[in-house]
Amino acid sequence: MENWLEAAGLVSGVLCVWLLIKEHILTFPIGMLYAVVTVIVVARALLFADVLLNLYYVLMNAYGWYYWLYGGQQLRQQAGELLPQRITVKAVLVLTFITLLGSVFMGYFFARYTQADMAYADSLTTVASFVAMWMSARKYLSSWIAWFLIDVVQIGLYVLKGLSSDPGLFFYAALYTVYLIMAVWGWSSWRRRLAT
């Protein structure tokens, strides 16, 4: 059953990102399905920060679904639709600070009070993903750069965890390799849309 769940996570995860690249609203309900499946898989692997992350994904997919349908009214009036947008340097600095600070606090908590494995690396990808998911929900072009960096670290995390204790996590390492490629594709696609 575990491999079936991981395979379902792989398929729904790739479909979700592909729909995000295409700016299709169904990315959000598919993303919710992916997040629920992943909660089960990573909880079994004792990656507790990833459990929190995927619970957060459920909420952010609901927010993104709403925002893409009804949010950004001023942007819609200018372009007639919600296009990808650029983020300010100040916002990038604030989000980077939040990511680093949050990673240290979450990593310390999980390292000290739980049996979490690789607590700081897991916390870094978790907090960075909190930020990147919010950026995606707001349709910021730079979200793809954040996802690319997260994917690199996440691949390493799942490979190391797969080698040490849970070979089933190689499905997720493969998934994040696909995400890495899709992050480049998504950034290129959204940048072209922004330019037009």
Taking alpha carbons only, the member of 67, 60, 59, 53 closest to residue 23 is: 67
Provide the 3-class DSSP secondary structure of residue 85: strand
Distance CA(34)–CA(115), nearest Å, equals 25
> What is the pLDDT at residue 78?
66
The pLDDT assigned to 133 comes to 93
pLDDT digits (tens, 9 = 90+) for 13-28: 889 999 999 999 999 9
Q: Which domain holds residue 114?
A: 2-195
Q: Domain total for the chain?
A: 1
For residue range 82-138, list pLDDT tens digits in order.
789 999 999 999 999 999 999 999 999 989 998 888 889 888 998 999 999 999 999
Query: Which is higher by pLDDT, 195 or 24?
Result: 24
Residue written as token pair 């592909």: 18
Residues 6+ apart with CB under 8 A from 151: 176, 177, 179, 180, 183
The predicted model scores a pTM of: 0.83
Residue-wise pLDDT for 138-177, tens only, equals 999 999 999 999 999 999 988 887 777 766 678 778 878 9
Instruction: Please give the pLDDT value at position 168.
Output: 66
Q: Diameter of the chain by CA atoms?
A: 53
Higher-confidence position of 107 and 47? 107
As a whole number of angstroms, the distance between CA 143 and CA 127 comes to 14
Interval 156-165: pLDDT, tens? 988 887 777 7
pLDDT band at 1 (very low <50, low <70, confident <90, very high): very low
